[in-house]
Amino acid sequence: MKKTTLYISFLLLITLFSSCEKVVDIDLNNAEPKLVIDAIIKWQKGTSGENQTIKLSLTNDFYTNDILPASGAVVKVINSGGTEFDFLETVPNSGEYICTNFVPVIDETYTLAIQYDSQFYRASSKLFATPEIINITQETVQGITGEDEIEIKYFYQDNGAEDNYYLLGVKNPNKQIPEFGVVSDEFFQGNVMFGFYGSSETEPGITLGLSVQGISIGYYNYMNKLIAIAGSGSGNPFATPPATVRGNIVNETSTDDFPLGYFFLGEIDAIDYLVQ
């Protein structure tokens, strides 16, 4: 009898608390849209590098993934000699600004200048060199789930005469977005370094896009924070982060109204690798 009374009391308690549940809709206040500047100039080794694109967009509501293009801007990149390279929005309302005559030069310093919605934005960066991918190896190992997993390593030679930082990338056709990582040569000065990639979604017959890019310490720190924020499983440093990460671009008209994004230039070595 005591057991029966206990069960009935427990059920009444659950019913009581369940009846108190209420769905609450939280009305969030939307902040003023911020300009997002994707101004990463990548000079693929073996090409002229004359075709480059800078993307401008605006931040959107918290509950949407829709991208709002920022159209009607004036976008220029200027080298240390004063030569201006115009980036034009050739497709209206796209937010993509294209230059077809850019001249990349290693160790040259460039300035980004943008005018948008009566605001002026500016940043400067040197164009960094990048080593070549010199070798790729493949190995099949037992993964943490007990199933076979393919591991890829791609090697490049570090320059021992200076401190270097690298952005490594892998595009897997079985995944929607590329994956990135950053590394320094702090413990590998002057040695052959490698990028490592292992995934259960790597299988024979697919082609992986492997890349290495020499970067500045500033861009290294920026990407390190962005990748950590996006590390919840997306692997995409260019998705909208849940926290604000400031880049190197300043708003000269209103310093408090800073944009999001980064301006950087560098060589990039990218190879398509057919998984065996």
Verify that 160 and 248 share a domain, yes or no: no
Q: Are residues 123 and 149 in the same domain?
A: no
Q: Is 92 a domain residue? A: yes
- The pLDDT of residue 15: 37
State which amino acid sits at residue 72: G
pLDDT of residue 216 exceeding 90, the answer is yes
pLDDT of residue 241: 52
Q: How far apart are the first and last CA of the chain?
A: 69
User: Are 161 and 186 in the same domain?
Assistant: yes
Asked if the structure places residue 18 within a domain, the reply is no
Residue 242 has pLDDT above 90, yes or no: no
Query: Residues 118, 141: one domain?
Result: no
Weakest-pLDDT range from 47-51, 142-146, 252-256: 142-146
CB contact set of 51 (below 8 Å; sequence gap of 6+): 98, 99, 100, 102
If asked whether residues 99 and 187 sit together in one domain, one would say no
Q: Tell me whether residue 212 is in a domain.
A: yes
154: CATH: 2.60.40
What does the DSSP assignment read for 208-256? Answer: EEEEEEEE-HHHHHHHHHHHHHTTTTT--TTSPPSS----S-EESS-TT
Number of structural domains the chain divides into: 2
If asked whether residues 120 and 248 sit together in one domain, one would say: yes
In tens, the pLDDT along 70-124 reads: 999 999 999 999 999 999 999 999 999 999 999 999 999 999 999 999 999 999 9
Q: Are residues 251 and 123 in the same domain?
A: yes
Pick from 154-168, 189-203, 234-248: least confident:
234-248
The answer to which of 43-47, 66-70, 106-110, 178-182 has the lowest mean pLDDT is 66-70
Q: Lowest-confidence range among 48-57, 62-71, 133-142?
A: 62-71
Specify if 185 maps to a domain: yes
| Confidence at 1, pLDDT banded by 50, 70, 90 | very low
Q: For 95, how many CA atoms within 13 A lie in the half-sphere containing its CB? A: 14
What's the whole-number average pLDDT of the chain?
Answer: 87
Residues 147 and 183 in one domain: yes
Domain range for 176: 133-229
pLDDT score of 2 more than 60: no
Average pLDDT over residues 117-144: 94
Q: Do both 225 and 137 map to the same domain?
A: yes
Confidence band, pLDDT 50/70/90 cuts, at residue 245: confident
pLDDT value at residue 64? 62
pLDDT in tens, 6-27: 333 333 333 334 445 555 545 5
Residue 25 lies in a domain: no
Listing DSSP states for 15-83 in one string gives HHHHTT-------PPPPPP-EEEEEEEEEETTS----EEEEEEE---TT----EE--S-EEEEEETT--
121 and 139 share one domain: no
102 is a domain residue: yes
Residue 187 pLDDT: 95
Could you identify the residue written with the tokens 């201006």? 84
- Residue 209 covered by a domain: yes
Is 46 in the same domain as 171? no
> 179 and 220 in one domain?
yes
Query: Residue 244's CB: how many other CB atoms inside 10 A?
Result: 10
pLDDT bin (cut points 50, 70, 90) of residue 200 is confident
Average pLDDT over residues 135-151: 86
Q: Within a domain: residue 180?
A: yes
For the segment 15-40, the average pLDDT, to the nearest whole number, is 65
